[in-house]
Amino acid sequence: MKKILWLILILSVIITFGCGGLYSTQSFGPRSISGSTISEVVQQNGPPDVVGGNDSHMVMTYYYTEGLQVLGLFSLVKKYPLGVVIDKNGQVISQGQGNEGEAITILGPIPAPVLPVETK
């Protein structure tokens, strides 16, 4: 009986401290873009992750990322871009969502399938 109790204690310590906990979730970025002018978009959604364009249009892209980890045995990350097109007068003329990317790890050596890397 003592061996079983020690085994349960050791496993709970490993699960709780060695694997980052029993359960964790993360959510980063806006889920949808709001605003009708460039200043409203930035005020309501924060600074964009990527900005591009030409002389007549600007594209501002935001990334929404969410993740889930259970016992360090299973982890899932989903990421998708949200973008707005702004004309030369600063008005939003279009907005949309890109294709979702997904990563999953089961019994992996690292409990997170995607490690966010800042390039700014």
Selection from 27, 32, 111 nearest residue 75 by Cα: 111
Tell me the two tokens of residue 81. Answer: 């871009």
User: H-helix or E-strand containing 9?
Assistant: helix 2-13
Task: Specify the pLDDT at position 42.
Answer: 95
At 30-76, the pLDDT tens digits run 999 999 999 999 999 999 999 999 999 999 999 999 988 887 778 88
Cα separation, 20 vs 7, whole angstroms? 19
Whether residue 120 has pLDDT greater than 50: no
Domain annotation covers residue 9: no
Q: pTM for the whole thing?
A: 0.70
Domain annotation covers residue 65: yes
CATH number of 88's domain: 3.30.1450
Domain annotation covers residue 67: yes
At 4-40, the pLDDT tens digits run 888 887 777 666 555 556 778 888 899 999 999 999 9
Domain annotation covers residue 56: yes
Domain annotation covers residue 113: no
Q: Strand, coil or helix: what is 28?
A: strand
Q: Write out the residue range of the structural domain in which residue 51 sits.
A: 22-106
Q: Say how many domains are in the chain.
A: 1
Tell me the two tokens of residue 30. Answer: 């806006």
